Structure 1
Amino acid sequence: MDSEFLTAEEVAEYLRLPLSTVYKLVQDKRLPGFKVGKHWRFRKDTIQKWIKDQESKNEPADEK
């Protein structure tokens, strides 16, 4: 994964999720991505920021 951009398949592998879940999350605007023609693309740094944001949402209030 040396590219700045990831495919949906690479995001699924990176997050260890089924590809169908990645498509559902991005279509529901819960995962940041954009379409190029009929293909989804994701910025690697945006996915990493999204992961950090998800982690902080799930921290107990006393740990923040």
Structure 2
Amino acid sequence: MCIGIQRARGLNHGLSILCKVVNLWDRWLHEEMELDLDKSIKKVLGQFHDYFIECSTKLYYII
């Protein structure tokens, strides 16, 4: 039982770190979008952001 609890705590810690990474990425992206960037650069940043969120979500469900 203790091993199960430790594993659950480890997973929660991993998910917490993942959430922090996603939040930092969101904040960075919004700050970058406020700058006067070329539309094509904004599009690429947005696509990368969507891909990052998709991968993070899949990782969340795997864990």
For the aligned pair, the TM-score class normalised by the smaller chain equals 0.3 to 0.5
Q: Which has the higher strand share?
A: 1
- Give the number of the structure with larger relative contact order, counting CA–CA contacts within 8 Å between residues 6 or more apart: 2
Bigger proportion of residues as helix: 2
Scaled by the length of structure 1, the TM-score of the pair is: 0.34
What TM-score do the two structures reach when normalised by structure 2? 0.35
